[in-house]
Amino acid sequence: MPAILYVFLSQGQRIIQRLGPAGNQIINRLVAFLRSVLVYRFP
């Protein structure tokens, strides 16, 4: 799971540049979701 989060964070800028503002929202939501999963899984 942390590896997936790392990939999203490291490739986030590249994805945002390709998709524009919609990509920014998608990345922000995915990161928020993954953080919440990690918090609930590893308190």
What six digits make up the tokens of 2? 């942390």
7 burial (CB, 10 Å; 0-12 / 13-18 / 19+) is exposed
Alpha carbon distance 23, 20 (integer Å): 5
Looking at per-residue pLDDT, the higher value among 38 and 33 belongs to 33
Contacts of 4 (CB under 8 A, 6+ apart): 34
Confidence of residue 18 (pLDDT cuts 50, 70, 90): confident
**pTM score over 0.85:** no
Question: Per-residue pLDDT averaged across 17-29, rounded?
Answer: 80
Question: Per-residue pLDDT averaged across 2-23, rounded?
Answer: 74
The domain segmentation of the chain, as residue ranges, is 10-41
